Chain A
Amino acid sequence: MQDTDLLGYMDGLYSYAMVLARNSATAVDLVQETYLRALKAKDKLREESNIKSWLYTILRNIWLNQLRYRRSRPEVGELDADELVRGIASDIDKDPYAQYVGKVERESVRKAIQQLPEEFREIILLREYEELSYQEIATILNCPPGTVMSRLARARSRLRDLLAALWQPATSVEERDHEDEPA
């Protein structure tokens, strides 16, 4: 494995860090630390190992260690509000209206995901965004595959409720536009 092979996982790792920490500065630290450790340990990795799962496991372990440390010094967890509008992939090939709808839709999904409890946030990210198998997720979370299935079902159910409560996507965009118009 080349060191540069690791670079392809950066967005995924950053997303995972964001759903765990909900704070961009902490997420950046987590990703940096993950790469530092991965580069140091990569030579011990067997060639046929699942690098993606390995990197996610490293990141999660770093996060858990940080949590243990923080528990001895309680502090209020904060949601980096700027992140809700920053770092969205550009839609340069879409028309402005589609861009706007896509952006608002993405924001609503991200907002709903960030309102989920941590164990639901991470399982949604690992399965629905990173497309890891149940077995791979079970390895990362260090739990049986059955737990992955039941937790994922509950997480999706909760996410659906949150999205329904937030707004109905396409119609709401139009309704919002009309709300801005003078009576």
Chain B
Amino acid sequence: MNYCEIGNETVLRFLHDELNLDERRAFLVHLKSCSLCRARLAEEESLSRRMRQSRPLYSAPDSLRLQISKLVDQHQARDRRGARFFRDLPVLLHVRVRAWSLAAIAIALVVSSLIFVPNIMQRARAASYVETAVAAHRNYVDGKYAPEIQSTSAQEISGWISGRVSFPFRLPVAEDTSTARYQIVGARLLHVKGSNAAMVMYENRTEPQERVSLLIAPENSALVAGSEEIPFGHLIFHVSNSGGFRVVTWNAHSLSYALVSSISGTAQQSCLVCH
């Protein structure tokens, strides 16, 4: 085939994981019959590989690191001084705190806690991302976290979450989920370190009580970590065991993903969720 109506931009969008699920499926079908697109894709993959191998393009000089670290330290020290000033302000001004003002503060605290209780209840109790993901998963398994949307359509769930979080949400894209052992069943929103996060829920197709969850949060609010690292393409999966669950975390598209399951065996077996 010497001509194909599929432009190179579609090939690139496929390569960069920018196609939605339907577009991706259609392109994969097209790819099977189009040698021109296969050749284009191979060419683009080769270029991407070459650039990946040349990372990092530049490393910041040590002198710059030192300067920026000092700058950050100075800024933090200033913040601390500012906080101390406000803490000591009543003393500095010789303000006499009256009993009625204490009562007013207490009432304000009670009212604000009533307003924010649902929010606070949803906030993850654990400090780290992995602990948060495990705590959320346990709530899901125990039936304490019900899905806020129920659907077996990844696209529908994706759309629902995208409209409710302030970061560019993305589900990991699997090439064909129809034969995967687990299927998507719903999602709900959570908070991780003050940021929005989405919890996507999966169930085993034949044994629905076997559940898997995927916590997705902005990269800057969630640190991925694990005792075992598995490189896969340009991704690195971090695998760990926490609270009796298997946790796989990774970063992609400025997001952090944490897949929590009871799947035992090798780390690769956790990939059964999507593949």
Contact = CB atoms under 8 A, between A and B. Distances in A.
Contacts of B8: 153, 157
A18 interface: yes
Interface string B204-238: 00000000000000111100000000000010000
A119 interface: no
Nearest to B251: A131
Nearest to B17: A133
B69 A7 contact: yes
Interface in A98-148: 102, 105-106, 109-110, 113, 124-125, 127-129, 131-136
Interface string B23-64: 000000000000000000001100110111111111111011
B121 to A, nearest CB: 18
B234 to A, nearest CB: 8
A19 B220 contact: no
Contacts of B220: 1, 5, 50-52
Of B44, B52, B55, most buried by chain A (CB within 10 Å of CB) is B55
B48 A32 contact: no
Contacts of B101: none
Contacts of B52: 128
A47 interface: yes
Contacts of A109: 50-51, 53-54, 57
A10 B64 contact: yes
Contacts of A7: 68-69, 72
Given A10-B65, A15-B56, A52 B9 contact: no
Chain A interface residue number, banded: 35 or more
A165 interface: no
B81 interface: no
Interface string A151-182: 01100110110010000010000000000000
B71 interface: yes
Interface stretch (A57-65, A66-74, A82-90): A82-90
B139 interface: no
Of listed B16, B69, B165, residue having the most chain A CB within 10 A: B16
A152 B253 CA distance: 17
B168 A136 contact: yes
Contact of B75 (A24, A39, A49): A39
A131 B55 CA distance: 12
B61 to A, nearest CB: 6
A128 B58 contact: no
B45 to A, nearest CB: 11
Contacts of B55: 129
B179 interface: no
A15 B58 contact: yes
A48 B167 contact: yes
Given A14-B64, A110-B54, A136 B72 contact: no
A14 B8 CA distance: 30
Contacts of B47: 156, 159-160, 163
Interface in B175-194: 194
Going nearest first, the 4 A-B pairs with the smallest beta carbon separation are: A109-B54, A14-B60, A48-B166, A106-B54
6 contacts: A3-B72, A15-B56, A102-B53, A109-B51, A131-B254, A149-B12
Interface of B: 8-9, 12-13, 16, 18, 43-44, 47-48, 50-61, 63-65, 67-69, 71-72, 75-76, 79, 165-168, 170, 194-196, 218-221, 234, 252-254
